[in-house]
Structure 1
Amino acid sequence: MVVRTEAEFKEKIEYGFELFYNDVLEKKDIRHFFFGITLQKIIEDYYLYKDFVMAKPERYYKEMVMQTAPSAVQVKAPQFDEIQISLQNNLRLAGFLKVEIPKLAQGVV
């Protein structure tokens, strides 16, 4: 486990979100999911809601994340997976360890 100060973590997570946001906007298939959403809103929502995301058993983080939204507002599975993979790849580029990424991604999605 990596020990980071609060400032280091904040810098890395915001950089990872910036990479993720820009990556999604570059992809024609999924960029429409971010229409009307700003990078600042993603960052604010992460900090606002991260404490409300319930921890899952460790085995849960080894699988792809499942959608928990009501079926009426769920994104199609391939597009959801593409967004999730983009988030995980960009968090890795931001410097997070492979074992840290699933828990962080769960809090964002």
Structure 2
Amino acid sequence: TGTRDVVLDRLVKQLENKVDGGTVNVLRYGFAVAGGGTLAMSQGLPEDDRNETVIQRYAANRLRVVPQLRYSLDKTDEIDLAFFINGIPVATVELKTDFTQSVEAAMQQYRMDR
């Protein structure tokens, strides 16, 4: 009971940890849950193909691209594209066109509105 909440709470704490946390560290090294060991969040590209288990874990990684992601319950603003690896957000993109919007406008929108 409450396993989901415990795991998500621990994941958030590790992502926010300033010393040895953050997105990259969580993806590389996973995170520990009391009584549950270390949960791996991704598998890097294997250097060779001799270990079938590592190859299978690498193949299980999932990159998801989400268009028009609403990031707030209080606002209707959306991020044009968000990239996730195994459910963890790793990058966002604000799309603009040369015909109607400038790069400067995209940077300003990102800084002030997102």
How does the TM-score come out when normalised to structure 2? 0.26
How does the TM-score come out when normalised to structure 1? 0.27
Q: Which structure would you say has the larger Rg? A: 2
- Higher helix proportion, which one? 1
